[in-house]
Amino acid sequence: MVVGILNVTPDSFSDGGDFLDPEAAAEHAATMLDEGADIVDVGGESTRPGSDPVSQDEEIQRVVPVLERILSVHPESMISVDTYRSGTATAALEAGASLVNDVTAFRGDPRMASVIREAACPVILMHMQGEPKTMQKEPHYEDVVGEVRDFLAERAEYAVAAGVRPENVILDPGIGFGKNLEHNLDLLRNLDAIVELGFPVLIGASRKSFIERITGVQEARDRVSGTVATTVLAFERGATFFRVHDVRANREALAVAEAVLHTSRR
Ligand code: HH2
């Protein structure tokens, strides 16, 4: 599943300010759907390193009009809302969103689990060490893969105990969220350990700064090739959801990777 990113924010790290106008946002969503996105992930708050939170009201005002506009033109499309606030999730689900992307894995708002249970919708539970404002200041792990795996296993268990259906849980190691270059590489290299938990796994490495550390590409928008490499490697290791800015390039790469790896496709 290719998840196209739509940031309705002034300050996102690679496309901040591009889609604040609901019409421009809906147009970009339509482009991503045409290019083969299975889901559009709409977010109203940047979680880039150093970012500040916005109020729930502000977040709802950014996200809901965009969601309504996309669904009025593409009523069949699957929209996810990138939020950790239960009020925003509720407003988005009422407006027609199909799933919730919670980067705090239910730690940000005690009411989120019951919103997901009531809606009986899928939810993405992501690992983050610390919080966006400070998370990239010396992240530390004894064993990054083991700690992220154990955290995600515990969060999945918590969700299921709170009444979320197990088949609705998607796990995400949170590339770049309280992780340095080696942590990100270790997680991508050993993604099998998280896939083995038995839930679908999402990877969100698109245009992130660790790609610049490897390739030297400073402009975030130009980190497409590096992103595609992460998509293909994560797919080979069992990830099935890919949250990306550049839908066409990642979709094409996945088609080729799938053809090579799953020969029965022909
Ligand atoms: N990354 C970002 C935001 N949300 N959600 C999940 N599940 N996984 C991720 O890796 C992830 C995420 C950060 O990227 P982006 O949305 O492009 O930037 P910003 O947070 O600056 O809006």
Q: What pLDDT shows up at residue 17?
A: 85
pTM of the model: 0.96
Rounded Cα gap, residues 101 and 230, in angstroms: 20
For residue 162, the CA-to-ligand 1 centroid distance in Å is 25
Pairing of strands 2-7, 39-43: parallel
Stretch 14-28: mean pLDDT: 89
C-alpha distances out from residue 25 to 34, 94, 99, 151, 156, Å = 14, 19, 19, 34, 32
pLDDT of the residue at 188: 98
Distance CA 99, CA 123 (A): 6
Mean pLDDT of 71-76: 94
Mean pLDDT, rounded, for 50-66: 94
* Listed residue (147, 152, 146, 95) closest to 123, CA to CA: 152
Output the ligand 1 site: residues, CB below 6 A: 5, 7, 9, 12-14, 43, 46-48, 82, 101, 103, 124, 126, 172, 174-175, 202, 204, 243
Sign of CA dihedral 223, 239, 179, 29: positive
Predicted pLDDT of residue 45 = 94
Give the nearest ligand 1 atom to 205 CA: 10
Determine phi and psi for 126, rounding to 5 degrees.
-115, 150
pLDDT of residue 72: 94
CA of 211 to the centre of ligand 1 (A): 15
Q: 215-262, pLDDT tens digit by residue?
A: 999 999 999 999 999 999 999 999 999 999 999 999 999 999 999 998
- Specify the 3-state DSSP secondary structure of 250: helix
Stretch 27-47: mean pLDDT: 96
- 131 has a pLDDT exceeding 90: no
For residue 133, the SS3 value is coil
Catalytic residue numbers read 208, 243
Q: Residue 263 has what pLDDT?
A: 67
